[in-house]
Structure 1
């Protein structure tokens, strides 16, 4: 049966980050749509975007493209707009997959769901920015352990592709039920060497009553291990 995969990138990323996986899903006979959220396109002004803007964009793209039998796949912070959109699109959603992703707690913004020291650091970066955005400098990417152990030239390339992250995406909370409360099937896929998540993937998965499905790679496994990730998405 043909499925439609809607792939949601994490913070600082655009739809480009999902392209290697999307090509493999298409080769298997499925439709794959790679979204880029407001403020994160190349050349976008990151100022003034709220989390609700990201949620609305996901919903509007599914409706605009008349997508059905949708399997959402959200990476990292992408778990927030994905979770917010699912309850509005539940009749069109077949499954929800969190990939090395945050699983939101209702009423709690992401910045309050990470260690206090990291939260203070990010608040300072947002407050110091004239656009209230967090810039993805190479030093920042390295500090976040997105691709630890990967060649420095590759890390620089990824850093160059990233775009400033609107700060309100981290400061806003969702007031929506968990997908587990909606009765929609869900999975949690976790990169084996992911060191970027602020909590263990097992802890995030447990919020859904799940055990993580392990795949090779770091936090950026959709770029470094697209074969294995696509297989996990397709076959569980």
Structure 2
């Protein structure tokens, strides 16, 4: 566990805002650290999602770090956030000290989030995106029940579905305009929920892109909400 105060920038995954990291952020602050939970463009209630590209999410992260003049930052990304987090780290030399991927996709060279899925799923995503006026993917209660948060009561599943926002489609389709994660040469950790069903391939495969074995914690894809103590402890141990 770190002996000096650290700065953690907590980055939400697809459909989520910074609120999804608040329980973990509270615990990191209680341990004496600085924890900032950001919401990326298009993922706040009422945001205009039309025309947003993956580079807009990356630019937002870079601007956040530079505007606050943050240094020695540990970037912590959930799920899809592994993509913009990795690209932002490449643009912030000297400011990032380590990377933590939590139930996250780790980018491969030149790939997109859609590319991490089987071809039939990637095709379905593209068709769904093209069918909505602003080219976004709306969340559904059924998706939350089956994929995101299987370990809680139905009321909690409905609440999460109401908090989620449609996800800009290009965030899934755009290829990462950055070298792959290995080129960062930064310490990294991969944390994986024991019952995560949301990742498009096993979390161990994403961890292997970092040359790591996953650190297992309790919970599903939404463990930062249902098991914040365990997730915070795993982040602090990175």
TM-score of Structure 1 vs Structure 2, range by shorter chain? over 0.9
Query: Whole-Å Cα distance in 2 between the matches of residues 217 and 43 of structure 1?
Result: 30
Report the counterpart of residue 118 of structure 2 in structure 1.
Answer: 115
Output one character per residue of 1:150-189: Cα deviation in whole Å (capped at 9) or x when no partner.
2111111000000010000001011312332221100100
Superposed structure 1 runs of 4+ greater than 3 Å apart: none
Indicate yes or no: 2:70 matched with 1:67. Answer: yes
Report the counterpart of residue 88 of structure 2 in structure 1.
Answer: 85
Which of 52, 55, 59 matches 2:58? 55
Query: Whole-Å Cα distance in 2 between the matches of residues 41 and 162 of structure 1?
Result: 9
Query: Whole-Å Cα distance in 1 between the matches of residues 154 and 120 of structure 2?
Result: 26
Report the counterpart of residue 237 of structure 2 in structure 1.
Answer: 235
Report the counterpart of residue 134 of structure 2 in structure 1.
Answer: 131
Which of 190, 193, 213 matches 1:191? 193
The answer to whether the 8 Å contact 1:86/1:179 transfers is no
The answer to whether the 8 Å contact 2:83/2:106 transfers is yes
Alignment TM-score, normalising by the size of structure 2: 0.96
Report the counterpart of residue 155 of structure 2 in structure 1.
Answer: 153
List runs of 5+ in structure 1 lacking aligned partners: none
Alignment TM-score, normalising by the size of structure 1: 0.97
Indicate yes or no: 2:97 matched with 1:97. Answer: no
Query: Whole-Å Cα distance in 2 between the matches of residues 209 and 51 of structure 1?
Result: 25
Query: Whole-Å Cα distance in 1 between the matches of residues 106 and 64 of structure 2?
Result: 22
Which has the larger displacement, 213-222 or 87-96? Answer: 87-96
Query: Whole-Å Cα distance in 1 between the matches of residues 214 and 110 of structure 2?
Result: 24
Query: Whole-Å Cα distance in 2 between the matches of residues 80 and 111 of structure 1?
Result: 11
Structure 1 counterpart SS, 2:179: coil
Indicate yes or no: 2:16 matched with 1:13. Answer: yes
How much does 1:149 deviate?
3.2
Structure 2 counterpart SS, 1:71: strand
Which of 173, 189, 208 matches 2:175? 173
Indicate yes or no: 2:232 matched with 1:219. Answer: no
List runs of 5+ in structure 2 lacking aligned partners: none
Query: Whole-Å Cα distance in 1 between the matches of residues 83 and 35 of structure 2?
Result: 20
Query: Whole-Å Cα distance in 1 between the matches of residues 155 and 123 of structure 2?
Result: 30
How much does 1:24 deviate?
0.3
Query: Whole-Å Cα distance in 1 between the matches of residues 47 and 16 of structure 2?
Result: 12
The answer to whether the 8 Å contact 1:70/1:92 transfers is yes
How much does 1:90 deviate?
2.5
Count of residues paired in the alignment:
235
